[in-house]
Structure 1
Amino acid sequence: MTRHALRRDPRAHWVLLSLTLAVVATALLFSGYGRHEIAATAAPTARCPAEPEVPFANGPVMRQDPKTGGVRAARMPASTVALTYDGGPDPAWTPRLLDLLKQHRAKATFFLTGTRAAAHPDLVRRIKEGGHEIGSHTYTDASLADLSGPRVRLELALTQNVLAGTAGIGTHLLRLPHTEGAASLCDDMGEAARRAIGDGYVVVVADEPARTPDQGAVRQFTGSAAAVAETGRLLSADRGDQVTFTTVGAGLGLPGTMYDVGTAAEWKGAAVVRAQQASRAFADGMTWFLLAAGAITAARLLMLLTVARVHVKRVRGNRSRRRGALRVPPLTDPVSVIVPAYNEEAGIEATVRSLLASTHEAVQIIVVDDGSTDRTFEIAEAIGDRRVMVVRQPNSGKAAALNTGLAWAHFDIVVMIDGDTVFEPDAIFRLIQPLADPRVGAVSGNTKVGNRQGVLGRWQHLEYVIGFNLDRRMFDVMECMPTVPGAIGAFRRDAVVGVGGVSEDTLAEDTDLTMALCRAGWRVVYQESAIAWTEAPSTVRQLWKQRYRWCYGTLQSMWKHRGALVERGAGGKLGRRGLTYLLLFQTVLPLLAPLVDVFALYGLLFQGAGQAAAVWLAFTAVQIFSAVYALRLDREKFEPLWTLPLQIFVYRQLMYLVVVQSVVTALMGNRLRWQRMQRTGSATDVLEDRRAMSA
């Protein structure tokens, strides 16, 4: 899929995401299959008779009789011992064993497990180059007696692919896992041996321990340090030069037990090896990433709660100082309020009237109708209050509307709000108080969701309280506030003009402006007591469009102000604290969250549901604790908490996917237009309910 195609068709983003998740799932499944996490098998539990059944009793090496098509068994000649090792290769014991065999000029047959061979291809090649013989021990050391026909074929085929990819060979030798002597080839295991022999394999088991080297024998060792020690004792025994230690094929004179494969088979095998290595590396990496992400998230939560407490103490201390210092009166300077509006007929009247009801009497209200196609202009003009000025302009976007309002503003303090925002009566007064400090250039208010009916509304309410407001408390204390929300913010007019007004470079004009003010040396603070009610999206489609624009605009602003990372002073605080925080917690972690979710689902299905459930319950408990604390700080009821567990499963995933689409859009160079949601005028729902209860 080309970049041009991605830019031309936004749906292609989801095709790309789906393909990525499919690749991730495939990698996890392949890794899990090789680690027995998927379709794991246990050793057979069948009780075998003391004596093996014919023809397995005729010898430990069995192959198909070319004449009869039955099973032909053979034994090692006298004074010939075939040394055989199961499992591996292993970086701990295989090199030691190879050195020991070389020292005694002995040869052996190694029955390798496909997953281990793929993990250590250099050892496979060393075994081959040492003149030793290689056989198959299946791909995952699975008991073939317990497997279906397709799974058996997969086990054997994958092992052949790995041997072709690592050493350029194929093998006819097979040792069935969980077998020892011929007596173990009974019932289902015996049937598995017959099928393998019928498919052209030479099945090798071990001779009974009573058979001496002088008689000729096949010795079986399970790869380990103990096997190395036992081999050393066997090779060092004083028998003169009468016993030959060799491979199965050489001892019986079997031709072609190993054979060279073609180039195509080598390429196919190499692809399988690389796929397994990549899948294992990915699974291991995801495990470490999940642990790191969990630790970082826990550290972030601890920091948010700690800093929130610091912010609360600071606010209370400021209030106490103001009460005890009568010589510093509250700030009562006149304020210009700019209300950009585009098709806001549903809520514009409630917005303006809430401003007119402000306890801060010196207020100029500037409604900038940005080319609305509904009755926004007529409704605002009909309010008929001398404090309200209605300006009309062709549709130019929110930033242009704010700049128009800025040009008409009469006063040095400017409050910018959205056309659907409803202010508390004391919100303007409280909002502007931090501007008494000449270092402060902008103040963020406390935005609350007005339409909380339904699960979606409650989810957004929790997000505003837990996420946005806790973050703003932290940004305030750390002096790196990246965003004064468009719903409620106060600014020094000369500070905004000094940075060139409200920029139209990004879709997040509020974030862009705030970052510009920080880089210009102004402090930006959070005033939790200045409360405004906003109308949140009431449908998933509207929510997606809103957050898509927010996220994309934030990415634009971060890129535009990336120079703050190397600046000093206030700009450096924004860059190294604020931008780094946004990059890590609002971009990188959410961007990787779908992969983590796939990995978590994999763990739930294949690595133990109990452990996964325990982790999820612990995570949910921490989230509930932080939610309780945040709601308490904002003096909100705890009733919406019942929706929090479901929010983790549904809403959070939706927000993660918004980040994914926004990042892909930005990387592809697409440009979004300014979008607005359909208003219903429900921002005052909670406010009216509270007033009714008070009455």
Structure 2
Amino acid sequence: MGGEEMVVGLSTLFTTYGKLFKPRRTFETSSEDRPTMTAMIPALNEERTIAYALASLAMQTVPPDKVIVVDDGSTDRTPEIVDELSSELDIDIERRRHDVPMGKTVGMKEVARDVETDTLFNLDADTFLESEDYLERLLEPHHETDVASSFGTVYPTERSSKQDFYEDQIVEILPEDSLALEHVREDLEIENSHTGVVGYFKRNRPIIQYRNVDFHVQQRFFADGIMRGFGSMLYPVGSAVLYDRQKLVSVFDDYEESLGDDLTNSEDLFIGFAFCDRGWSNIQIPDTYTRSALPGLPKTFKQNYLWGSGYLQSAYYFKHLTFRYRKKRISTDGGTDSDQASLEYTDPDSTTQVQTERSASDRATTQRTKQPMGRIITSQLIDGFYPTAALLMTGLSFIGLMAIELILLFIFLEFVMTIVATGVTKTKRLDLGRNLIPFVVLRAIMLPVLTYTYLRVGTDIMLGNRDWRK
């Protein structure tokens, strides 16, 4: 997710046009020459969640050829649980360990460069695949040469979703004396012990209800409209993504020297932008699902900042993509009439301009993008000023330069349109009425985070600070 999406704005026009007038890109289902797959799970102190993730891989209709768990310096019983599950589950599990935490990007680089499979599936340790055909569905687009990543639809992990998965899957495959089963049951007991008003907050219900609507609007409305209109998303939803391994390695290799492991505040967004900059596609499969755990309120503020700042930083790095508004022609020999595109930025430790150039074949691939992604990027950047404009107008109302009623009407209209977009696209997975009040309250609280994000990233750019890392 890339942060808050504003329903009153330019990007809504592109989204609505795509949903009303453009068909979704379709892919043929084929079991012949199916791409090979390695699954990778980065894990740091995930003893309460890792069993869900691994069990969900084992029950897939098309399981991965190999699973590699990168233990990033865990100090709890995560390593023991992984080792136990490697003998209990009917999939090939290997555990690798970092003695000290090094981050998700480091683990992805190591595994992507080390294995030889066609694809690499990244699954966060606090996420599990709710749909048994999740991997099978994600493999479908990878028969197309331009597809760099694919991913399904994510909803927050709720107590009921964990309970259902435990009863339907985990109990069936783990013995009673299993250490993994013990931790799963402890996790569920803690969840079930939180009752009443206090329990409502301890179970993180306000955040879950807020994200239920937030994720739904972003995926069912914005993502679907962008996929229809542009043939690709800007970036994958990073908790459960299937990458073309060679394309992923090419991105890592291109920016290794200049950026190292610090691919902005959100590596998923940077990688997605890099794919689009090359003309490759990030494909969302809407009707296959994952569940992902959510942090509490303080970390939700940080999460929104990381997503929002990662988007702005990626848009800054990939200026040629951000400001590309027109389609480009391809000559018959595979060349292009445009200048060579590149990623440019200033190294914070020097005044030297660093530039990563792409090959002629990559430039030719770029020209095959269905629609120039700069149209949607720029519109979303403009829409992101909405909270700042609302705050400025509120300040002006206090000194009598603007009517407060006009501001309240505009804010009310934005919320109404968000609710309408949710209602029009809602499925049985979302109870809008139950989630509405927490969504409205927390969305209002979260909006100033976007103002802070713009100010902070803008200040970084002006001061030449590129110390951007997750």
TM-score using structure 2 length: 0.68
Return the match for 1:399 from 105, 125, 150.
Answer: 105
Return the match for 1:548 from 296, 301, 305.
Answer: 305
Cα distance in structure 2, aligned partners of 1:601 and 1:435: 56
Return the match for 1:569 from 349, 367, 381.
Answer: 367
CA spacing shift, 1:606–1:551, aligned 2, 3 Å: closer
Displaced runs of 4 or more, over 6 A: 600-603
**8 Å Cα contact 1:440-1:522 kept in structure 2:** yes
Residue 368 of structure 1 and its aligned partner are, at CA, apart by 0.9
Return the match for 1:471 from 219, 222, 239.
Answer: 222
After superposition, give the CA deviation of every residue in 1:180-238 in whole Å (9 maximum; x if it has no partner). xxxxxxxxxxxxxxxxxxxxxxxxxxxxxxxxxxxxxxxxxxxxxxxxxxxxxxxxxxx
Aligned counterpart, 1:308: 19
Aligned counterpart, 2:431: 637
Cα distance in structure 2, aligned partners of 1:403 and 1:617: 45
Q: Secondary structure at the match of 2:233?
A: coil
Q: Secondary structure at the match of 1:343?
A: coil
Cα distance in structure 2, aligned partners of 1:449 and 1:364: 27
2:353 aligned with 1:651, yes or no?
A: no
| Counterpart residue identity of residue 442, structure 1 | S
Return the match for 1:482 from 234, 250, 255.
Answer: 234
2:118 aligned with 1:412, yes or no?
A: yes
| Counterpart residue identity of residue 365, structure 1 | V
2:389 aligned with 1:595, yes or no?
A: no
Residue 422 of structure 1 and its aligned partner are, at CA, apart by 0.7
**8 Å Cα contact 2:72-2:102 kept in structure 1:** yes
Residue 626 of structure 1 and its aligned partner are, at CA, apart by 0.9
Cα distance in structure 1, aligned partners of 2:124 and 2:21: 30
Cα distance in structure 1, aligned partners of 2:397 and 2:381: 23
Aligned counterpart, 2:382: 584
| Counterpart residue identity of residue 425, structure 2 | A
Aligned counterpart, 1:192: none
Q: Which runs of 5 or more residues in structure 2 are unaligned? A: 1-5, 160-203, 325-340, 342-365
Cα distance in structure 2, aligned partners of 1:525 and 1:441: 8
**Larger displacement relative to structure 2 (461-470 or 657-666):** 657-666
Cα distance in structure 1, aligned partners of 2:379 and 2:32: 34
Residue 399 of structure 1 and its aligned partner are, at CA, apart by 0.8
CA spacing shift, 1:402–1:612, aligned 2, 3 Å: closer
TM-score using structure 1 length: 0.48
Residue 535 of structure 1 and its aligned partner are, at CA, apart by 0.9
After superposition, give the CA deviation of every residue in 1:554-585 in whole Å (9 maximum; x if it has no partner). 33222221133355625795652343234223
Aligned counterpart, 2:328: none
Cα root mean square deviation, aligned? 3.3
Cα distance in structure 2, aligned partners of 1:658 and 1:500: 26
Aligned counterpart, 2:422: 627
| Counterpart residue identity of residue 112, structure 2 | L
Where relative contact order (Cα < 8 A, 6+ residues apart) is larger, the structure is: 2
CA spacing shift, 1:628–1:541, aligned 2, 3 Å: same
Q: Secondary structure at the match of 1:358?
A: coil
Return the match for 2:150 from 438, 443, 448.
Answer: 443
Residue 512 of structure 1 and its aligned partner are, at CA, apart by 1.5
CA spacing shift, 1:383–1:464, aligned 2, 3 Å: same
Instruction: Work out which of the two has the higher radius of gyration on C-alpha atoms and give 1 or 2.
Output: 1
CA spacing shift, 1:574–1:349, aligned 2, 3 Å: farther
Aligned counterpart, 1:387: 92
Return the match for 2:208 from 453, 457, 469.
Answer: 457
Cα distance in structure 2, aligned partners of 1:471 and 1:399: 27
Q: Secondary structure at the match of 1:384?
A: helix
Cα distance in structure 1, aligned partners of 2:306 and 2:404: 39
| Counterpart residue identity of residue 210, structure 2 | W
CA spacing shift, 1:383–1:551, aligned 2, 3 Å: same
Residue 388 of structure 1 and its aligned partner are, at CA, apart by 0.9
The alignment covers a number of residue pairs equal to: 367
Residue 519 of structure 1 and its aligned partner are, at CA, apart by 2.2
| Counterpart residue identity of residue 495, structure 1 | K
Aligned counterpart, 1:499: 251
CA spacing shift, 1:600–1:404, aligned 2, 3 Å: farther
**8 Å Cα contact 1:484-1:514 kept in structure 2:** yes
Residue 444 of structure 1 and its aligned partner are, at CA, apart by 3.0
Cα distance in structure 1, aligned partners of 2:24 and 2:371: 20
**8 Å Cα contact 2:213-2:435 kept in structure 1:** yes
Return the match for 1:377 from 79, 84, 101.
Answer: 79
Cα distance in structure 1, aligned partners of 2:376 and 2:9: 18
> Identity across aligned pairs (percent)?
20
Aligned counterpart, 1:358: 60
CA spacing shift, 1:616–1:524, aligned 2, 3 Å: closer
Cα distance in structure 1, aligned partners of 2:17 and 2:429: 18
| Counterpart residue identity of residue 518, structure 1 | C
| Counterpart residue identity of residue 94, structure 2 | M
CA spacing shift, 1:498–1:614, aligned 2, 3 Å: closer
**Larger displacement relative to structure 2 (398-407 or 409-418):** 409-418
Residue 401 of structure 1 and its aligned partner are, at CA, apart by 0.8
Residue 487 of structure 1 and its aligned partner are, at CA, apart by 0.5
